[in-house]
């Protein structure tokens, strides 16, 4: 078994290097969104509890960000917890919040290059978790590396509702009448109030675990995104899986409706 594994690993490394070389002159997505799915099923398959799966999934994040750095990706949005997920058992949610806090602290520690941003409905999260996420954001705001959006307590419909609410409040403060707003409202005006304002929309969305749906992830921003679905559970996601996603992306002709 040991010999088989060594041979398999050697072949994977050769294939990985070949993929990386093939992508040297390929188009690179500026913004990659990742739906990190399959932690619980991965844990269940090896007889562990959900918290173990979530922790192993969290351990994969730094690897992913390093691969994105190597590829030249500028923005990475990690879908870590949806508003729907908050209905899970209390003990699982508590464990998840602790893991998210540890991720934020790890990404913001000295020596890291990434700019961390909290993204989601902060009011649905524990105050301690929000404080840790916001501190990570403040500690990394001046960094020059890629922006990393941590989507915790995130829902795509809620984001759009929040954007419209923010837009209306902004115009109310300016004294704009409802009739004037209706007459002047454009798509980009709503985009200016999204959680991702100021960032490019995702070019590529990756979802692990075999599921082929968005689950409310960046509903507005993914109008022109490319999608890559893989059967691999998130804790088992490897650089070769990431390179395959980039290869698929580079092979597509993005027409944007033309």
80 backbone dihedrals φ, ψ, rounded to 5°: -100, -35
252 appears as a binding residue in the annotation: no
Burial of 182 per CB tally in 10 Å (0-12, 13-18, 19+): exposed
Quote the CA–CA distance of 100 and 154 in Å, as a whole number.
13
**Catalytic residue flag (residue 37):** yes
42 appears as a binding residue in the annotation: yes
215 appears as a binding residue in the annotation: yes
Quote the CA–CA distance of 184 and 125 in Å, as a whole number.
35
213 appears as a binding residue in the annotation: yes
114 appears as a binding residue in the annotation: no
203 appears as a binding residue in the annotation: no
17 appears as a binding residue in the annotation: no
201 appears as a binding residue in the annotation: no
244 appears as a binding residue in the annotation: no
54 appears as a binding residue in the annotation: yes
Q: Which of 25, 27, 37, 201 is catalytic?
A: 37
Q: Which of 27, 59, 85, 248 is catalytic?
A: 85
196 appears as a binding residue in the annotation: no
The contacts of residue 20 (CB under 8 Å, 6+ apart) are: 243
* Exposure on the CB side of residue 64, measured as CA atoms within 13 A: 25
Helices 2-22 and 239-251 cross at an angle (nearest 10°) of 30
Strand partners of residue 31: 75
30 appears as a binding residue in the annotation: no
39 appears as a binding residue in the annotation: yes
**Catalytic residue flag (residue 25):** no
* Overall residue count recorded for the chain in this entry: 258
Binding site listing: 37-42, 54, 82-84, 88, 207, 213-215, 226
Give catalytic residues, as residue numbers.
37, 85
Binding site listing for Mg(2+): 37, 226
């Amino acid at each position: 078994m040991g010999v088989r594994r060594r041979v398999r690993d050697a072949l994977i490394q050769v294939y990985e290097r070949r993929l990386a070389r093939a992508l040297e002159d390929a188009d690179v997505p500026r913004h990659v969104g990742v739906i990190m799915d399959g932690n619980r099923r991965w844990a269940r398959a090896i007889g562990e509890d959900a918290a173990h799966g979530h922790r192993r999934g969290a351990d994969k994040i730094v690897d992913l960000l390093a691969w994105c750095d190597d590829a030249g990706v500028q923005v990475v949005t990690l879908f870590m917890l949806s508003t729907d997920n908050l209905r899970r058992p209390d003990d699982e949610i508590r464990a998840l919040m602790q893991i998210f806090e540890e991720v934020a602290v790890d990404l913001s520690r000295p020596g890291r290059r990434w700019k961390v941003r909290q993204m989601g409905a902060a009011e649905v999260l524990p105050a301690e978790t929000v404080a840790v996420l916001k501190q990570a954001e403040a500690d990394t705001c001046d960094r020059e590396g890629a922006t990393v959006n941590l989507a915790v307590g995130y829902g795509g419909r809620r984001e759009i509702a929040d954007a419209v609410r923010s837009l209306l409040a902004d115009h109310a403060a300016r004294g704009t009448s409802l009739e004037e707003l209706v007459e002047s409202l454009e798509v980009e005006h709503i985009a200016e109030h999204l959680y991702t304002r100021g960032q490019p929309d995702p070019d590529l969305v990756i979802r692990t675990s075999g599921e082929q749906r968005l689950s409310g992830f960046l509903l507005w921003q993914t109008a022109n995104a490319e999608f890559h679905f893989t059967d691999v559970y998130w804790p088992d996601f490897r650089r070769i899986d990431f390179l395959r996603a980039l290869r698929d992306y580079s092979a597509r002709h993005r027409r944007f409706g033309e």
